Amino acid sequence: MNKPKLKIKDIAIVILTYNSEKIIKKTIQKAKEISKNIIIVDSFSNDKTLKIAKKLNCKIIRRKFLNYTDQRNFIIKKCDRNFLWQLHIDADEILSSKLVKNIKEIIKVNNQNYSFIIKRKVYFLGKLLKFGGASNWHLRLFPSKSTIVESKLYDQHFISLLKTKPVKGCIYDRNIDDLNSWIDKHNRWSSLDIINNQKSKQEVLKGNIFGNKIQRLRFFKNLYLRFPTSIRPFMLFIYKYFILLGFLDGKVGFYYCFFNSLWFRALIDAKNYEKKKNKKL
């Protein structure tokens, strides 16, 4: 007897979670304005995250977290079989109403010739940052069987076989961590960034000044890495705080530009220096 064919659904909204009880309800509720097909990929939370997700009728997959690339590519392949489209967000990312409206229009038209990049607006110390280069673009909405996540341990982006278009609206990165947690997380990321530089460059997003907003950002990041380590964190701070008007975000704007450039980028360079020095011993 032939098995009935699975019905291909319109869109899966994938949310990665781990101990996300403080924010996950708001994230899911806003995502459900697009579709009821919410898939939670959880890294064995030990708080109320899964209880909240179950109450909101989400499909839950529990899987050990090795790294972001592994987790995303695992669920992308699963969704490729059963959904026409995929939208990927993190547990603390909330969709704006304008973005919800425009994504629903994209799914309705179902033009699968494009993937879509979305602006992410960042909160830091409880404040929505409007300046200083805090906002960035990410490819998060795409037709199935078109996209993977690049092979990096930090600063990963989705890579699509298709041309990209921006979507009006934004994702609010609520960043509910306190400053200690933010520093701990970026300390771990600084170590991962060093490992990135030692890995193969296969399946990595290429920088391109003439490409989309994400490719241009990668181009300028690669250019930044060519400057001497003794000056480039200061250059980045000046660029973010003065040229990109980070000072207009007040005291929080200063803290963001300081930690994001003078502290975080200098920490990566210092760890690289320490690693090279230890090799010579």
Furthest C-alpha separation in the chain: 70
pLDDT in tens, 34-63: 999 999 999 999 999 999 999 999 999 999
Residues 148 and 269 in one domain: no
2 within domain boundaries: no
Q: What is the mean pLDDT of residues 78-99?
A: 97
Residues 77 and 135 in one domain: yes
CA distance 98 to 157: 23
Whether 120 contacts 232, CB under 8 Å = no
Residues 132 and 269 in one domain: no
CATH at 161: 3.90.550.10
> CB under 8 Å to 17, separation ≥6 — which residues?
24, 40, 41, 42, 43, 45, 49, 50, 53, 91
pTM over 0.85? The answer is: yes
Residues 191 and 103 in one domain: no
Asked which of 154, 173, 192 is the last residue of a domain, the reply is: 173
Residues 196 and 268 in one domain: yes
Residues 158 and 212 in one domain: no
pLDDT in tens, 124-182: 999 999 999 999 999 999 999 999 999 988 899 999 999 999 999 999 999 888 999 99
pLDDT at res. 213:
93
Residues 259 and 197 in one domain: yes
CA distance 95 to 104: 12
> CB under 8 Å to 72, separation ≥6 — which residues?
14, 16, 88, 149, 156, 158
Cross-strand pairs, 123:
128
Asked which of 119, 150, 173 is the last residue of a domain, the reply is: 173
241 within domain boundaries: yes
Whether 249 contacts 132, CB under 8 Å = yes
Residues 120 and 40 in one domain: yes
3 within domain boundaries: no
pLDDT in tens, 221-268: 999 999 999 999 999 999 999 999 999 999 999 999 999 999 999 999
The domain tally of the chain equals: 2
The DSSP line for 31-70 is HTTT-S-EEEEES---SSHHHHHHHTT-EEEE---S-HHH
Rounded to the nearest integer, the mean pLDDT of the chain is: 93
CA distance 73 to 78: 9
pLDDT at res. 4:
40
pLDDT at 202 over 60: no
Residues 156 and 88 in one domain: yes
State which residues form the domain around 195: 179-280
